């Protein structure tokens, strides 16, 4: 069916060429979602395509919708046609349409940026202006597409690993990325924690330290905070470091006791559901006990503070 540019039309699937950059970030979850939409309401979501070239249209947005139609046996799809035939301009348009909620976002954006810069000589500053993003954002997207292994890219695509954390993983050698990414995800680590571990790996002089970062990130993270003791700072009233540390310790003790109490009263199903978090908590408390005993021995040799008691209390003090 012939159509004017920028107007909705209907195209046969065989007329549409897949965009490798968008396919890279396409998740099966999105394909399934659009198959459900098509089954319930028909093919109502149009795709965006480029102007025809040799009778075919490059898809610029909607790869998951296109794949859903192909899997469902649908032969035609509504489409809106871009007026530009220049492939570089079409890729820029695809880049502007890309988002984390559709097409795998970050990975697709990175691949599109690389193609525009490497294949078409587009200046990074032009993309910064076009997208309203920073140079750092463009650089990070390129790093995801260039430096991540396929296994870790899959974790980003299916939502297991967030793009911000993946940027840090991309700084590691390829042969350790997948194992490290799996371990930090299982340990429920934040982006900042992952960044600290990556920095520790890169600055380590020992293979044992690097192996610990990859295989036991929680244990490695617990050692990052060990620094030379700073000189005592004068207290600043209620907001002084000492008072803040007391408040943090009290709050942590309350949350720990609350978690233990809930675990003791939970049924088997709840315990099974929370077992990864409880295992992590158990490991952390053992490490915390060693660290706090060492710290207290440094500042108060020979003194011992009983669990659940503050210094100076004779017992029965409320945490």
Q: How far apart (Å, rounded) are the C-alpha atoms in residues 113 and 228? A: 44
Coil, helix or strand at residue 265 = helix
Q: Which fold has domain 1-147?
A: 3.90.1530
User: What is the domain partition of the chain in residue ranges?
Assistant: 1-147, 149-225, 251-299
| pLDDT in the model for residue 25 | 63
Q: Would you say how long the chain is, in residues? A: 319
DSSP H or E run through 11: strand 8-12
| pLDDT in the model for residue 173 | 92
| pLDDT in the model for residue 107 | 77
| pLDDT in the model for residue 318 | 40
| pLDDT in the model for residue 130 | 76
Q: How far apart (Å, rounded) are the C-alpha atoms in residues 53 and 56? A: 5
Q: How far apart (Å, rounded) are the C-alpha atoms in residues 37 and 257? A: 47
Per-residue confidence in pLDDT tens, the chain, 319 aa: 444 556 677 777 777 777 777 766 666 777 877 777 777 677 767 777 777 777 777 778 877 777 887 787 778 777 777 777 677 776 776 676 665 444 457 777 888 888 888 888 888 888 887 777 788 888 888 888 888 888 888 888 777 888 888 889 989 999 999 999 999 888 888 888 899 999 999 888 888 889 999 998 888 888 776 444 445 555 555 566 677 777 778 778 778 888 888 888 888 888 888 888 888 788 778 778 777 777 777 666 554 444 444 444 444 444 3
| pLDDT in the model for residue 308 | 42
| pLDDT in the model for residue 280 | 79
Coil, helix or strand at residue 58 = strand
| pLDDT in the model for residue 302 | 53
Coil, helix or strand at residue 232 = coil
| pLDDT in the model for residue 142 | 84
């Amino acid at each position: 069916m012939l159509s004017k540019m920028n107007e909705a039309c209907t195209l046969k699937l065989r007329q549409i060429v897949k965009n490798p950059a968008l396919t890279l970030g396409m998740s099966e979850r999105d394909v399934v979602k659009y198959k459900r939409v098509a089954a319930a309401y028909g093919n109502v979501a149009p795709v965006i395509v480029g102007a025809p070239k040799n009778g075919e249209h490059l898809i610029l947005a909607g790869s998951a919708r296109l794949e859903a139609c192909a899997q469902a046996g649908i032969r035609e799809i509504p489409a809106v046609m871009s007026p530009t035939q220049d492939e570089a301009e079409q890729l820029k348009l695809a880049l502007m349409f890309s988002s984390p909620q559709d097409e795998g976002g970050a990975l697709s954006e990175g691949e599109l940026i690389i193609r525009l810069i490497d294949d078409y000589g587009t200046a990074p500053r032009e993309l910064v202006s076009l997208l309203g993003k920073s140079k750092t954002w463009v650089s990070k997207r390129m790093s995801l597409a260039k430096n991540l292994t396929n296994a870790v890219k899959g974790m980003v695509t299916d939502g297991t690993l967030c793009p911000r954390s993946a940027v840090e993983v991309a700084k590691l050698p390829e042969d350790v990325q997948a194992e490290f990414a799996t371990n930090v995800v299982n340990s429920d680590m934040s982006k900042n924690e992952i960044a600290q571990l990556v920095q520790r790996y890169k600055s380590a002089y020992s293979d044992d330290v690097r192996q610990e970062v990859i295989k036991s990130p929680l244990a490695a993270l617990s050692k990052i905070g060990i620094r030379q003791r700073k000189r005592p700072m004068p207290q600043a009233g209620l907001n002084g470091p000492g008072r803040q540390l007391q408040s943090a310790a009290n709050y942590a003790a309350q949350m720990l006791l609350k978690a233990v109490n809930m675990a003791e009263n939970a049924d088997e199903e709840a315990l099974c559901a929370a077992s990864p978090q409880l295992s992590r908590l158990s490991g952390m408390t053992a490490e915390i006990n060693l660290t706090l005993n060492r710290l207290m021995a440094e500042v108060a040799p020979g003194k011992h503070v009983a669990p659940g008691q503050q210094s100076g209390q004779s017992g029965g003090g409320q945490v």
